[in-house]
Amino acid sequence: MKKIHIFGIVVIAIAISLIVSTLGNTSSYVNFQRAKEVAEAGNNKEMHVVGQLKKNASGEVVGIKVNPDKVSFSFIMVDNDGEEQKVYYNEPMPTDFYRTEQVVVIGGFKGETFLANKILMKCPSKYQETTV
């Protein structure tokens, strides 16, 4: 076997292991129930959950609690299956949080609370104006 062949095999092996380990490191989009199951199974892998803020009958956002030192807050989020869940975030509340149409929280369950490490928001007309 020529050296170049051994080299080729090594490179392919590295490439395959890169793919495999990437798949092992990916997160997934799940609902709260699934995220809870994962956490209860002792896996602290981070999950993406997509949903909306809880609103009352007149459309106002409810359930946001800002810590008095303003450096953390919690809110109630409803996932796409309609399940409500308290989410805690260790960062200040984003200014336009009340107006967000959709939230993606990335994190996992700690006991009964979902601890978000990152929040992605989709605000109305964030990218494109649609009215004059």
Partner 1 sequence: MEETLHTGIGAVGHLSVIIAFVTALLSTFSYYKATVGSSLEKKNEWLTNARVFFYTHIVSVMTIVVALFSIIYNHYFEYHYAYSHSSRNLPTHYMISCFWEGQEGSFILWLFWNAWLGLALIFTNKKWEAPVMTVFGAVQAFIASMILGVMIFDLKIGSSPFILLRDAMVAPIFETDPNFVPEDGTGLNPLLQNIWMVIHPPTLFLGYAAGLIPFAYCIAGLWQNKFKEWIRPALPWMIFATAILGLGIIMGAYWAYETLNFGGYWNWDPVENAVYIPWLIMVGAIHTMIVFKKSETALKTSIILVLSSFILILYSTFLTRSGVLGNASVHSFTDLGLSGQLLLYMMFFVIVSVALCIVKWKKIPTSDYEVSNYSREFWIFIGVTTLSLMSFQVLIPTSIPVWNAFLGFFGIESNLAAPADQIGFYTKYQLWFSIAVAILSGTGQFFYWKKMTKDQLVKDLAIPIVISLLISAIIIVSTVMNNMSYILLVTASVYSIVSNSKVLFSILKNSSIKLSGGSISHIGIAMMLIGILFSSGYSEVISLNNTGMLIFDDAPDDTMNKENVLLWINKPRKMGEYTLRYRGTFAEIEGAPGYVLKSDLDLTDDPFKVIAKKDIKFNKKTYFKKGDTLRTHPENTYYQVEYEGEDGEQFKLYPRAQINPSMGLLASPDIKTYATKDIYTHVSSVTDPNQEKEWSDEKEIESKIKDRFFLNDFVTVFDEMERLQFVDGVPLSQEDVAVKAKLRIFDNDRVYRAEPIFIIKDRQIGKVPAYIDDLGVRITLNKINPESGIMTFGLKTTMKDYIVMKAMSKPLINVLWIGTLVLMLGFIIAMYRRFQEYNKLEKS
CA-CA distance, 16 to 19, in Å (whole number)?
A: 5
Q: Are 107 and 114 in contact (CB under 8 A)?
A: yes
CA-CA distance, 44 to 14, in Å (whole number)?
A: 27
Size of the site for partner 1 (CB under 8 A): 58
CB nearer partner 1, residue 58 or residue 125: 125
Q: Is 97 in the site for partner 1 (CB under 8 A)?
A: yes
CB nearer partner 1, residue 8 or residue 55: 8
**Chosen residue from 33, 43, 44, 113 binding partner 1 by CB under 8 A:** 113
H or E segment at 52? Answer: strand 47-53
DSSP 62: -
CB nearer partner 1, residue 55 or residue 118: 118
Strands 84-89 and 113-122: parallel
Whole-number Cα distances in Å, 97 to 18, 86, 117: 38, 15, 16
CB nearer partner 1, residue 41 or residue 132: 132
Smallest distance from partner 1 to CB 16, Å: 11
H or E segment at 11? Answer: helix 3-25
Q: Is 61 in the site for partner 1 (CB under 8 A)?
A: no
Q: Is 85 in the site for partner 1 (CB under 8 A)?
A: no
Q: Which residues of the chain form contacts with partner 1 (CB under 8 A)?
A: 2-4, 7, 11, 14-15, 18-19, 22, 25-30, 46-48, 65, 67-72, 74, 86, 88, 90-97, 99, 104, 106-107, 110-113, 115, 117-118, 123-132
